Amino acid sequence: MEKIVQFFHEFIVPTVISLGEMLLKIMIIITIVMVAIEILKALKILEWLNKRLYFFTRFLGISPQASFPLLIGIVIGITYGAGAILLSYKNKEMSKKDVILVSIFLCLCHAIFEDTLLFTALGANGLIIVPIKLLVASLATFLANYFIQKRRLLEEISIPEVII
């Protein structure tokens, strides 16, 4: 009996309290993020932002038509992003290269506000996390674009040699 009381005091009470605290934090963050996303959708802020970011996507080698699925994936999440990619690929707005580049960016960096806020609530430094993630994902996409183009150039060069 004593052991049960001790277990109750040492384990169950602190666990339930800290679990409740953590759940409350997560609930508040997710509610804020979800409402903010709906407001972004309703006010069409992402479309507005999309028009101003074309120099950035051009630097990554992504065509302007493909930058909107990218933006959706970065802000809202990978499932929405993949849906948007699929939709615009079916409408033939995106080339195969665009799909691969956007996917590489998104698999490294998606739902950036939600995930970062969750860690910031525990005490991490969000101002360091977001730039690092964006920078690394951009760099990976840029390199992928570079290699795709290089390979294409090599193919073009190698064709005459085969003919000769």
Inter-residue contact 64 to 54 (CB < 8 Å): yes
Report in angstroms how near the CB of residue 83 gets to another protein at its nearest.
9
44: left (phi over 0), alpha (psi -120 to 50) or beta: left
Contacts of 138 (CB under 8 A, 6+ apart): 56, 59, 60, 105
**Quick one: CA torsion of 112, 31, 44, 102, rounded to 10 degrees?**
30
Least Cβ distance, residue 150 to another protein (angstroms): 17
For another protein, the binding residues (CB under 8 A) are: 10-11, 15, 18-19, 22-23, 26-27, 30-31, 33-39, 41-42, 78-79, 82, 85-86, 89, 99-100, 103-104, 106-108, 115-116, 118-119, 122-125, 128-129, 132-133, 136, 140
Distance CA 148, CA 141 (A): 10
Minimal distance in Å, beta carbon 111 to another protein? 9
Which residues have a Cβ under 8 Å from the Cβ of 99 and sit 6 or more positions away? 66, 85, 89
Q: Which is nearer to another protein, 1 or 42 (CB)?
A: 42
Q: Whole-number minimum distance, CB 63 to another protein, in Å?
A: 16
Q: Are 126 and 120 in contact (CB under 8 A)?
A: yes
Q: Smaller CB distance to another protein: residue 122 or 159?
A: 122
Which residue number, 129 or 161, has a Cβ lying nearer to another protein? Answer: 129
Of 53 and 120, the one with the shorter C-beta distance to another protein is: 120
